[in-house]
Structure 1
C-alpha cells in the first residue's frame, strides 16, 4: 500500500528489517495505524545480506562434514559452488521483496519507500531513493499521532588503514551476495562474520587467509575461539592471530589485492583475489534527523528497557514518543535480540497508546505490572550462535564477564564426546560445554556449547537462565538417552547434585 504526501498514522517505524517489522506488527495488532519506511529492501539486512544468505552458504559444508564423519556414508566429494550460490539466491528471493511487501499489506501496515528522517517531534520526512522505481520526485511528510520507532540497523566500518578504502574490499554484504567464488580470499577480522565467511569460502574451494588482531570470537569463552581456530586450520584456512594490517594495495579494481601484515616483529605481504573486511559495525544514526529533536547523531540511541529513547521531551504522564530497537541502540547486535526489542517496543507503544490498552502514564522503572514490557534479557540472557564448524552457542555472560560483574559463579565444564549421544552421532565427535552457576542463588546464569549442531542445545539453557530455575528442580528435567543433551545430567553430577 503506497502512501501519498502528508499522511498521518498513529505509529511510524523507520526501517523495515526484521526488527522494524516486529515493532510494527505488535503495535498494529492492537488497532493502531502503522506505517513502515524503508529505503532499500523490505526484510532488511538479515534477509538479503546477513543471517539468511550466510547460513545458507554454510549449510552445505556442514552437511558434507557430517556425512564424512559418519561410517557407511559415501564421501560426497567437493561442493558444487554454482549450486550453492543458486540456493543462496533462492533463499533470499533473488533480491525481490514483493513477498515481504505483501505480508505488510496483509497485516494492515502501510509501506512507504524512501529514506526516512525526523525533521521535528513526531514528523518524518521521506525522500525518494534515486533509481528505486518509486522516484516521482515527491518528498513526503508523515505525521505520527503517538510514536516513532527507529529501527535502522547498523553498517560495516572500515578501519583507517592506508589504501583500504581505495581497494574496494568486500564487507559482509558483498561476501554473502557474491556471484562467484574467488580463487583466494583474505579475511580481516576475528568476529562472527569473519569466522563464518572464512568457513563458508573454504568449503566452497577458495584458498582463505584469516587475519585477526587477537583471539577469535572474543565475546565468547576462550575455549570456543580456540576450537574454531583449530577447525579452520584443519579445513585449510591460514589463520594468523596477533596480525595487524598496516597497508592495502590494489592497483586495479577487480584485480589482485595485496595486504601488508605485521606479525610480531616481522612484516609480510599476502595477495589474494578478494579481500573481506569484517572488523565491526556502527549504528545507522548519522542521517535519521536525530539532531532535529535534540539528540546526538552518529552514535547509538540510548534507550531504557522499554526501548524508549532517553533525552527526548515526553508527553503528559511521561509517555515517550520516540523508541528505538535493534543494532541502532548499540545494546545487542543480533537479529534475534533485535526482534525481541522490537516486540517490546511495539507492545509498549500499544499499551501506552492503543485504543483498548491505553495507559495514562509510564510506570516507575521496574514496576511489576510492566515486567513483560521490558527488554531485560539484553542484560542477563543475551543469546548468540556462530555457525562455524564446530558451532559455538552461548547465553548470558562469559565466566570472565560474570566475575567482573561481581557474580559468585562456579564454572562446570564437560567434554561432549563423553556423552553417549555423541558416540552414536559420530565416532570422531568433539565438543565441549560449560555452564555458570550462581553459587548463592543456585541458578544458572550462563552456558556455552561448542560442537556439531550446538545451536540446537542452546534454548534449553536459555529457558533455565531466564526462568532462574533452581538446580534442585533442574535436576528433575530428565534428558533423553542417547542424545547429546544428556550433558545436562552430567552437569548436575559434576556440580555435586
Structure 2
C-alpha cells in the first residue's frame, strides 16, 4: 500500500475520506471504483466504531443471551439451559468477533481495493485541504481535486454532571469492551444502547438499575407497545427500572459510584453507563477553516454534499450528517455519495431528483432498525406518532403475534405484537413495528413493502410460508380488510 510519509510534498488525491468506519470505507471503495485516486485518513482502527465498540461486539454479547431466552421457551429444551451463562466464553467470543481490537484484515482489504491510507488525526485546513497529524511525526498535508468526505461518526453525548470526571463513567465503548462483569451497573438512559446493554449485562451477572429521565417509557422513539414489552421483560430478568429520575451529581468513594438523584434520593453502583444520545465527532475537525462551527452536525443534501459550503466539494456521510444514525444507513449513504462524487468528477450531471428521491426514502421514510433485546423489536418507516405529526392519514392495524401458528412453534407462551400503518390515500404500508421473539427476520419484508410502496392488493399475493411468524403479515391484511368491510357508522 502507498502510505504517505512526512517527507513527501503535499499529496494530491481526487478524493480524501476522513474516517475509516464502514461508511468511510464504502465511500473510498466507490470513489476508487469510479477511477478516482483516493486516500482514507483514520486515527484509530480501520473498521471504526461499529466493528470494535458498537454493532459487532454488542451483538456478540447479546446473542447468547437471546439464544438462551429462546431455548427456555421451548419444551424439552429449557431444562438444558437453566444454568448461568459461561461469562468467560461469551467475552472470549466477543474478543474474537472484534479481532482482539486489531485491524490487520481491514488494512488488507483496503490494500486490495487500491485505496491509500494515512494513519493519524485529519483536520480540514481550508477548501479541499486536509492536514494529518501522524503519531510521532510531522504533519502530512493532503489536497483533494474533487471531494473531501467527512465520515467521522459520533461520540456518546455525556451530560455535564458535577463529579462526572471523577467516576470514569462507561460509555458504549466501555460497555461493549469490558473484560469483567460489574456487580452493580447503573444505566442512565432508556434508548437502544441502554436497553441492549441492560439486557446483556444483567444476563452476564450484573445487577442492573436503569435511570430514565423522562416518563415516556423505554425506546421512546418507537411505538409505545415495544417499550412496554421490553420493560416488562427486563423487570422479569431482575432489572430495576426507574422512570422520571436523572443523576444530579456523582462521586467515586471506596471504589463505588455514588449518585445523588434528581428526586433527592441516592444510589450506588460499581460502574455507571451513560447511554444518553450521540454527538457529532466534529469538534476538532478544522471546520472553522471553512466557515463552519466546530462540534456541529453537518447538514447535507440528498447526495450527502454539505449544503453550507460553496463549491460542492465537501461531503458529510453517515452519522455525522444526522440523517439516520445507523451503520446500515451510513453504508447506504456511502454508496450514494461515492457514485455522486464519481459522476461529478467525470463531468456527468447528477439527477438530483432521482438521487434525492432514492436517498430521502431510505433516510427519512424507510429507516429499518432492530433492537436486540428479549423480546426483539424491529421497525421501519413511520410510527403512529410520527404519522400524526406529519399530517398523514393512516389506519393503524394491530395484531397479537401469539395468535399466529408459527409463534407457537417458535416459543411456548409467546408474547409479541405487530403494527402496520396503512396510508389511506395511497393504500400502501408506510410503517411497521414488530415486538416479540424472532421478529428481526420480519423486517426486510416490511422494508421492501414500505420502500416499494407496494399496494395492499399486491401484498395479498405475497404468500407467507406456514408455519412461520411471517404469517402475521396475512393476519394484518385480513384484519385491515375486515375493518374496511364493516359498514360505516357515520350518519
TM interval, shorter chain, is: over 0.9
Question: How far apart are residue 251 of structure 1 and its match?
Answer: 2.8
How far apart in 2 are the matches of 1:433 and 1:126?
A: 50
In structure 1, what is the equivalent of residue 4 of structure 2? 3
Distance 1:139 1:230, change over 3 A: same
Correspondence for 1:132: none
Contact 2:343/2:350, CA 8 A, preserved across alignment: no
Aligned to 1:30: 34
The answer to whether the aligner puts 1:473 opposite 2:458 as a matched pair is: yes
1:411 counterpart SS class: strand
Aligned-pair CA distance for 1:382: 1.1
Partners of 1:279 and 1:302 in 2: CA distance = 22
Residues 472-491 of structure 1 mapped to structure 2, 5 A cutoff: 472-491=457-476
Contact 1:475 1:492 (8 Å CA) reproduced: yes
* Per-residue deviation, residues 402-442 of structure 1 (Å, max 9, x unmatched): 11101111110100000000011111111101011000100
Aligned counterparts of 2:65 and 2:360: Cα–Cα separation in 1: 36
1:104 aligns with 2:96: no
- In the other structure, the counterpart of 2:191 is 191
Kindly indicate whether the alpha-carbon contact (under 8 Å) linking 1:431 and 1:451 is maintained by their aligned counterparts in 2. yes
Instruction: Give the C-alpha shift of residue 269 in structure 1.
Output: 1.5
Native 8 Å contact 2:188 2:273 kept in 1: yes
Instruction: Please report how far the alpha carbon of residue 455 of structure 1 lies from its aligned counterpart in structure 2 after TM superposition.
Output: 1.3
Which residue of structure 1 aligns with residue 249 of structure 2?
247
Counterpart contact for 2:302–2:356, Cα < 8 Å: no
Structure-2 residue corresponding to 1:392? 377
Q: Match for residue 98 of structure 2?
A: 92
Whether the 8 Å contact between 1:344 and 1:375 is mirrored in structure 2 is no
Q: Do structure 1's residue 448 and structure 2's residue 453 form an aligned pair?
A: no
Alignment partners' CA distance in 2, 1:29 and 1:411: 44
1:347 touches 1:373 (CA, 8 Å); kept in 2?
Answer: no
Cα offset, 1:372, TM superposition: 7.1
Q: Distance between the aligned counterparts of 2:400 and 2:85, measured in 1?
A: 31
Gap regions ≥5 residues in structure 1: 130-134, 315-319
Q: 2:240 aligns with which of 232, 238, 241?
A: 238
Q: What is the Cα deviation at residue 373 of structure 1?
A: 6.3
| 1:124 and 2:130 are equivalent in the alignment | yes
Q: Quote how far apart the aligned CAs of 1:121 are.
A: 0.9
Whole-angstrom CA distance in 2 between matches of 1:99 and 1:447: 37
**In 1, distance between residues paired with 2:231 and 2:164?**
25
- Cα displacement string for residues 264-291 of structure 1 (whole angstroms, at most 9, x for unaligned residues): xxx3221111111111110111111111
Name the SS for the 2:476 alignment partner.
Answer: helix
Within 2, Cα distance between the matches of 1:396 and 1:161?
A: 35
Deviation at 1:371, TM superposition (A): 5.3
Q: State the secondary structure of the residue aligned to 2:88.
A: helix
- 1:200 aligned residue: 200
Separation in 2, partners of 1:21, 1:336: 13
Q: Indicate if the aligned counterparts of 1:9 and 1:143 stay in contact, CA closer than 8 A.
A: yes
1:158 is the counterpart of 2:162:
no
**Contact 1:12 1:34 (C-alpha < 8 Å) held by counterparts:** yes
**Equivalence for 1:167:** 167
Hey, what does 1:406 align to over in structure 2?
A: 391
CA distance in 2, matches of 1:109, 1:402: 43
CA distance in 1 between partners of 2:309 and 2:202 (Å): 48
Question: TM-score, normalised to structure 2's length?
Answer: 0.94
Map 1:350-361 → 2, pairs under 5 A: 350-354=342-346, 358-359=347-348, 361=349
Match of 1:342 among 315, 330, 334: 334
- Secondary structure of the residue aligned to 1:337 is helix
Assess if the C-alpha contact under 8 Å between 2:213 and 2:244 holds in 1: yes
Any idea what SS the aligned residue of 1:282 has?
strand
Does the 8 A contact of 1:247 with 1:260 survive in 2?
yes
Aligned CA-pair RMSD: 1.3
Among candidates 418, 435, 442, match of residue 403 of structure 2: 418
Aligned to 2:227: 225
Deviates most, 175-184 or 69-78? 69-78
Q: Structure 1 residue 305 and structure 2 residue 302: aligned?
A: yes
Match of 2:489 in 1: none
3-state DSSP class of the match of 1:79? coil
Contact 2:36/2:342 (<8 A) preserved: yes
Secondary structure at 2:148 match in 1 = strand
Report if aligned partners of 1:306, 1:375 keep a CA contact under 8 Å in 2: no
In 1, the alpha carbon distance for the partners of 2:213 and 2:398 equals 28
2:50 is matched with which residue? 46
**1:115 alignment partner in structure 2:** 121
> Post-superposition shift, 1:261?
2.2
The answer to whether the Cα contact below 8 Å between 2:439 and 2:469 also exists between their aligned partners in 1 is no
Kept in 1: contact 2:30–2:339 (CA 8 A): yes
**Paired residues of 2:208 and 2:240 also in contact (CA < 8 A):** yes
Q: CA deviation at 1:482?
A: 0.3
Distance, in Å, in 1 between the alignment partners of 2:438 and 2:126 is 48
1:259 deviates by 1.5
Match of 1:317 in 2: none
Deviation (angstroms), 1:297: 1.7
**Quick check: 1:163–1:247 contact (8 Å CA) kept in 2?**
yes
Name structure 2 gaps, 5 residues minimum: 483-491
